[in-house]
Amino acid sequence: MNHKRVRLDSNDPTGRPTAITGLRHDGQLWYEDGNVILVASGIGFRVIQQLFCVPQPPDSQLIDGCPVVHLSDTAIALQELLLVLLRGKRYSEQDDPELDFLSYRIRLAHKYGVEDILEESVQALEELYPTSLASWDQVRYERGFTSRTITAVNLARLTNTCSVLPTALYACCQLPVRVLFNGAVHADGTIDTLSPGDMITCMEAKVLFTRKHMENTVEAFFLARQLALAYTTMTHTEAGLLEVWDSFLEACRRRGGLANGTPGSPRLCNDGVRDVRRHLRHHRVAMWNALPQVMGIEVETWVLAGLDSDSDSDSSDSDSDLD
């Protein structure tokens, strides 16, 4: 992969030290033929200056004849960007469950104007928080909800990637309030927290989703209130209007009661399960279609879901029945 020269700014707010003490060489990016040393968090990266546009003061420090440039980035973040630039490191979401590396790539590529890396990284973010319900179901059930969604919201704000925000904010609504306020801690020690505006959006939406979730539950099981109560106590997503109920309903149909086979639990026949699924899918699709509006985000590429794929069959164990 070819990249244009990257302009690095040595505007460390702490000031440039007059001497380097305890400088450690990075284990992967210290080239003996390098002619500039980039320093971040006390770690030195010796690279070839021709790849970078590095402003150097006239009294720049020298190590082995190489000018030293101090950067305000963390060493882990800078290493990730350099590995992409110098070794073509590919991004793997499987190796980045909390979006640490994607965050480093997007933030530094945005800061230093590395457009191709920024574009690729934003595309990876968009794939994790898609605009179609079918795609959302797939990625949501692969990873679940963690504080990484806070990072996703902030990256979307940084890059003005509005398409990511409805699902990322929805995912934030599924987090405990304590997690929302504490934020997402990255491997380099930096912390992502929601802006006050996004925090207000999540708190208001969380209340709305929780109320709607309860209303849908009671309405769906108005003839079996014990079942409705059991579901609301079993689920760990109190505001989960986009969650799929298939496993729970299938257990009710097959075992004549709750998923744990509690004696005396109300039984749903095949027709009852089908009707409940249809009812819940209707509300789920309606909420998906309204999600950008609920979150106050305008998304031109939002894919409206329909009921065409709804099936009257209740013979499948798959969660795809409500896709």
The pLDDT-based confidence of 50 (bands split at 50, 70, 90) is: confident
Question: Of all residues in the chain, what percent carry a pLDDT higher than 90?
Answer: 54
Does the predicted model carry a pTM greater than 0.85? no
53 forms beta bridges with 7
Helix (H) / strand (E) element for 24: namely: strand 24-30
Amino acid letter, residue 313 = S
Residue 100 and residue 147 in contact, taking contact as beta carbons nearer than 8 Å: no
Helix residue spans in 88-144 (DSSP H): 100-112, 115-128, 133-143
Task: Give the pLDDT confidence of 189-248 residue by residue, as tens digits.
Answer: 999 999 999 999 999 999 999 888 888 777 776 644 445 545 555 555 556 667 666 666
State the pLDDT at residue 281: 86
Residue 281 and residue 323 in contact, taking contact as beta carbons nearer than 8 Å: no
State the pLDDT at residue 216: 78
State the pLDDT at residue 260: 46
Pairing of strands 6-7, 36-40: unpaired
Residue 105 and residue 57 in contact, taking contact as beta carbons nearer than 8 Å: no
Tokens (6 digits) for 25: 């060489």
Task: Give the pLDDT confidence of 70-115 residue by residue, as tens digits.
Answer: 999 999 999 999 999 999 999 999 999 999 999 999 999 999 999 9
Task: Give the pLDDT confidence of 238-272 residue by residue, as tens digits.
Answer: 566 676 666 666 666 665 544 444 444 455 566 66
Distance between CA atoms of residues 164 and 244, nearest Å: 21
